[in-house]
Structure 1
Amino acid sequence: MQTVNISDFRANLLKYLEIANSGKHISVTSNGKLLATITPPENQKEQAKKQLQAIAEKAAVYDVTTPTDCEWDASS
């Protein structure tokens, strides 16, 4: 992770945003104190696919058309 002082960050904002966009994390500090962490953008579509895959691995699928304890007419 790259660390940069706030004054340098302000002076070179576009440069640091391009670095973050390329996949690197940047810590912005002032007097040695961490102010912010700039992270690369997430691919929301890929993130959603990963979350759905994790759910699918744990999900249990049951027959939802057959009632468990009563008679009913599905054509009504």
Structure 2
Amino acid sequence: MLEVTVGELRRHLPEYLGRAESGDEFLVTRRGRVVARLTAAPDARAAAKERLAALRTRARVGDVVTSIDATWNAAE
């Protein structure tokens, strides 16, 4: 992980934001101490798609023709 000082980050903020969006992560330091981490925000849509893909591997489609009013046994 790369380190950048607060002053350097202020001077070149658009550049560092672009690099963070591309996947780079930065530790922001002040007087030699880490005060923050700059990274891209997680993509909520991509995370939801990954969860759905994982659920698809475990889903089982059964009888989709039977009426809603029909009785059924969940153990089958």
> Normalised by the shorter chain, which TM-score bucket?
0.5 to 0.7
Q: Which moved more, 1:11-20 or 1:34-43?
A: 34-43
Is residue 9 of structure 2 the alignment partner of residue 9 of structure 1? Answer: yes
Match of 1:39 in 2: 39
Distance in 2, matches of 1:40 and 1:15, equals: 13
Q: Structure 2 unaligned segments of length 5 or more: list them.
A: 62-67
**Structure 1 length normalisation: TM-score?**
0.64
**Structure 2 length normalisation: TM-score?**
0.64
Query: Among the aligned pairs, what percent are the same residue?
Result: 31
* Number of equivalent positions: 69
Distance in 1, matches of 2:29 and 2:58, equals: 42
Match of 2:65 in 1: none
Q: Which moved more, 1:3-12 or 1:39-48?
A: 39-48
Give the superposition deviation at 1:7.
Answer: 0.8
- Go from structure 1 to structure 2 and tell me whether the alpha carbon gap of 1:59 and 1:6 turns closer, same or farther (over 3 Å shift): same
Which letter maps to 2:10?
R
Give the superposition deviation at 1:26.
Answer: 1.0
Q: Structure 1 unaligned segments of length 5 or more: list them.
A: 69-76
Distance in 2, matches of 1:21 and 1:8, equals: 18
Which letter maps to 1:44?
A
Match of 1:30 in 2: 30
